Amino acid sequence: MKDCIFCKIVAGDLPSTKLYEDDMVLAFMDIAPINPGHVLVIPKEHHTGSSTIPEEVAGRMFHVGARLGVALKRALDVGGFNLHLADGKCAGQVVMHAHLHVIPRDIEDGFHWNWRQQQYESDEARDDIASKIIEKLKF
């Protein structure tokens, strides 16, 4: 897609440090890492969000992300990794070509997700939301 920086990386029109490539996905180093070794895995075909990525390609993205996570644990001697995908601007997506972050993590690496844990007003309120989601779930 014209004007998409990740499509330009796939086409070789913008530079990147590539780690892995096959017919479906490309993995390269993030230029502004949360931690050193932060990698992005993208579908080669342009998809803005995750929901239009064909199942086979999405599966490959996750598989490659997990294999890269193991590789960076061994290479960088860190304890774990996060797989993260922001879908939509309000979810924190900045580059509008879907991408899976693979982020090396270690105890006291100084990064926190700022995760919060709210409570439902009642079990019924939780179940009502679950029903609404199930109603809209389409494959």
Q: Which residues are catalytic?
A: 99
Exposure b/e, 33-48, CB count within 10 A at least 16 = b: ebbebbbbbbbbbbbb
Of the pair 32, 133, the CB lying nearest ligand AMP is at 32
For residue 48, the minimal CB distance to Zn ion (Å) is: 8
For residue 3, the minimal CB distance to ligand AMP (Å) is: 13
**Which residues, at least 6 apart from 79, have a Cβ–Cβ distance to it below 8 Å?**
73, 105, 106, 107
Interacting positions 41-70 with Zn ion (CB under 5 A) = 46
The region of 4-12, 15-23, 58-66, 73-81 touching Zn ion under the rule CB under 5 A is 4-12
Among ligand AMP, Zn ion, none, partner that 125 touches (CB below 5 to 8 angstroms by kind): none
Length of the chain in residues, anyone?
139
